[in-house]
A and B are shown apart, each in its own frame.
With several copies, the nearest count.
Chain A
Amino acid sequence: MSQLKAALTPARLLDESGRLVRGATAPDAETLLEGYRGLVFARRLNEQAGALVRQGRLAVYPSSRGQEACQVACASVLEEGDWLFPTYRDTAAIVARGVDPVEALTLLRGDWHCGYDPNEHKVAPQATPLATQLLHAVGVGHAARLKGENTVVMALCGDGATSEGDFHEACNFAAVFRVPVVFFVQNNKYAISVPLARQSVAPSLAAKAIGYGMPGIRVDGNDLPALEKVLGEAVARARAGEGPTLVEADTYRIDSHTNADDASRYRADDEVNDWLPRDPLLRVRTYLKAKGTLDDAREQEIADAAEEMAAAVRAGVGAETPVDPEEIFAHVYATPTPQLAEQRAVLRAELEEA
C-alpha cells in the first residue's frame, strides 16, 4: 500500500546537515533563496514578538520557533486568490502571506480580536477554538467550487487539534464534496503540555486520511523544499479538482506553548536539544552556502531587511493607538439593535461624565 507508506515515512529533500537526500531532485536555488529569506523573517518575527512580550507590549505570543519552514511553505505555495486559515500559532505564516505584522499582532496586543481585513489577503482571522476553522476552510472551498472559482484553501491546525470532533467533520465533508482544501497539520509533538502519545496512538496523523478517503502525506516539517514540494502538489491536486489532502509535518515546538507556559514542567531539555540540530533555517542555509547561492552580501541584505521589519514591528506595536470604547457596540450587527443603541448611550454617558 503506497498510500500508507506516504502517510508514515516523512518525505524529505534536505537532510539535517543540509545535504540533498539520495535520489532527490535539487530544488530551484533562487526559489529556495526566496524561501530562506522567509525563514529568516519568520524567525526574526518570533524573536521580536517574544521580546515585545517581555517588555509588556504584547500580552502573549505563541511562538512558531522551530516550525518556521512550515510557516513559510504553507504561504508560499498559495496563489493570489487562495485562502489561508491560520491558528494563533501561525502569525509568521500570516505575515509570509503578506499581512502587515503590526496588524497581525493586534489580537495579541489586546486592541481588537483581529487586526487585518480577512478579505484583503484572503487570510481568515487566527482561530482560537481548536479545529473549528477547518470547517470554515471547507466552506470557503466548497463555495468556490460551486461558483466555479479556482480557489484553493490552506487550512492549518496542530497535532492536538486533530482530536477534536471538528477535525473529523471537516476532513469528511471535504472528502465527500471533493473540496479544494489542503489540511496542513503541524505536528509539533505537544498540545500545551500533552505529548503526542496521549493525543493519538495511530501510526501517524497523516494515516487518518485513509478513513476519509483522501491522500495523507507525511513530510519532514523542518525541511523547507520538501514542504514546498508536498504542499505544492496537494495544492495542485486541489486546484485540478481532485479534492483534499491531509499533510502532516513532522516538526517540533522549540519554545514553550506561549511565554505564559513553562515547558520544563512537562518535557526534558534533552528532548529539545535533540531537535535543535534539525533547525529549519540552518539546513537551508548550509545547502545554499554550499551551492554558492547564498553569499555574504545576500545574507547581509536579508538580515538587514529582517531587521527593518523587526524595527517596524517594534515601532508599530509600541505606538500608542487609541481604542474607541464605543466600538464594542459597532460591529455586533450590521445595524445595531435598539437594545445596543440604548446600551451604547449608557456607556457614552459614563464616558462623558468621567
Chain B
Amino acid sequence: MSTPKMTMAQAINAALRDAIAQDDSVVVFGEDVAQLGGVFRVTDGLHREFGESRVFDTPLAESGIVGMAVGMAMNGMRPVVEMQFDAFAYPAFEQIVSHVAKLGNRTRGKVRLPIVIRIPYAGGIGGVEHHCDSSEAYYAHTPGLTVVAPATNADAYGLLRAAIASPDPVVFLEPKKHYFAKEEVDVSVPVPPIGRAVVRRPGKDATLIAYGPSVPVALAAAAQAATEGRDLGVIDLRSIVPFDDETVCAEVRRTGRAVVVAEAPGFASVASEIAARVGERCFHHLEAPVRRVTGFDVPYPAPKLEHHFLPGVDRILDAVDTLQWEDAA
C-alpha cells in the first residue's frame, strides 16, 4: 500500500483534523478559517466537520486573537490560531512577546500555555508587500517560544501534531510557497520530537544548514554541486528553538565547511545565530569561515524583483566556492 500524496496545506489540514478529533481541548480560530477554510484552504472543511465550538472565525484583530488564545489556554484549552500572513502577526507582537512567551515563567510554571500560532510565512509566491516576510528571528530571539519551521509535508503533519501536543507555546512557521506542492505523507509515522534536526542529504565536502523554505533550495544546490564533483550535505533544522546543536556540530565537524541558507534578511537573524554558534563550537574543525546566504537587508521586494532577493542555487554555490578549497587536501 503506497502512502498518499498530499500538499503541505493538506498535511496541515490533516494534522488539525486529527488533533481536533482526538483532543476535546483543541480549538482552531482566526480570520477566515471557518466558513472559507482559510485563504490558503489550510482549514478547509474543519468548520463543517467539527462545528462552531471547535473552529470559528473571529473579528479582524490579531492582538485579539492571540490575547484570547492566552485566556483560553489559561482555562484549559489548546488553541491553534492562524495569523493570515507573516506581517499580519505584528499587531499581536506585544501579546506574543509579553505574554505568550512569558506567562509560564511568570507563574513559575503554574500556568502553561499550550498555544500554537500558525503563520504562513516567507516568500516566493509573488505576493505584494507585507505578505512575504520571513519573521522567524523576532520569535526565535524571544525566550519562552518554541519556533518550528517544517520543510516537508510529512514534517508539516508530524511537527504540527507535536506542536499542538506541546505544553509550551509554539510559533509554527509554514513556508507558504510549499502549500500546494504534493509529496508523500505517511500520517502513521510517529510524531517527530520538536528540537531534532535531520540530515536530509549526507555530504562530505561541506554542510548546508537550512530550514523551512530554504531546505529544497539547499538540496537543489547540493544536487547541482554533485554534478560538478562537490559533495555537499544538507541539514534541515526543523526546529529553530530548541536548536539541535548536536546534529549540526557533528556534521560540520566532519566536513569542516558550512554555509547557512535562510530567506530572512541576514542581519541579527537566525542565520547569524547559526553562524555564530557553529563558529564557536566547531572552531577547530573549520577549514573556512562559516558563510551565510540570506535575504538582503532590504524590505521584501515587489513580485517582479523577489527572485533577486531570495537565496537561490547560484548564490549558494558561489558561497560554497569561497570556502577556500585551494587549501583543501
Contact = CB atoms under 8 A, between A and B. Distances in A.
B285 to A, nearest CB: 19
Contacts of B64: 135, 138, 163, 165-166, 169-170, 172-173
Interface stretch (A139-147, A218-226, A233-241, A279-287): A139-147
Interface in B137-158: 143-144, 146
Interface string B70-86: 11111111010000000
Given A129-B88, A142-B71, A337-B242, A331 B61 contact: no
Given A143-B76, A339-B243, A113 B61 contact: no
B103 A343 contact: no
Interface residues of B, number: 80
Interface stretch (B108-116, B179-187, B210-218): B108-116
Given A118-B107, A165-B63, A332 B143 contact: yes
B297 A330 contact: no
Interface residues of A, number: 72
B35 A337 contact: no
Given A112-B108, A266-B35, A170 B305 contact: no
Given A139-B67, A142-B68, A130 B60 contact: yes
A107 interface: yes
A291 interface: no
A170 B67 contact: yes
Contacts, number: 246
Interface in A232-259: none
A163 B60 contact: yes
Given A146-B77, A172-B64, A338-B245, A350 B57 contact: no
Contacts of B67: 132, 134-136, 138-139, 166, 169-170
Interface string A326-347: 0111111110011110010011
A332 B72 contact: no
Interface string A113-143: 1100111000011001110101111111111
Given A59-B128, A111-B304, A340-B297, A140 B106 contact: no
B7 to A, nearest CB: 17
A328 B305 contact: yes
B202 interface: no
A164 B60 contact: yes
A200 interface: yes
Contacts of A136: 67-68, 70-71, 74, 99
B237 interface: no
Contacts of B204: none
A289 to B, nearest CB: 40
A70 interface: no
A140 to B, nearest CB: 4
Given A108-B128, A114-B107, A199-B60, A132 B297 contact: no
Given A173-B58, A261-B39, 19 more contacts: A60-B128, A110-B126, A119-B110, A128-B128, A128-B131, A129-B98, A139-B71, A146-B27, A147-B77, A166-B64, A193-B32, A193-B57, A325-B305, A325-B308, A328-B296, A332-B299, A333-B144, A334-B109, A334-B167
17 contacts: A59-B303, A114-B106, A129-B98, A139-B68, A139-B75, A140-B71, A146-B27, A146-B77, A163-B59, A166-B64, A169-B64, A194-B59, A325-B308, A328-B301, A339-B267, A339-B297, A340-B297
Interface of B: 27, 31-32, 35-37, 39, 53, 57-64, 66-77, 79, 87-88, 90-91, 94-95, 98-99, 102-112, 126, 128-131, 143-144, 146, 166-168, 195, 241-243, 245-246, 267, 296-299, 301-305, 308-309, 314-315, 318
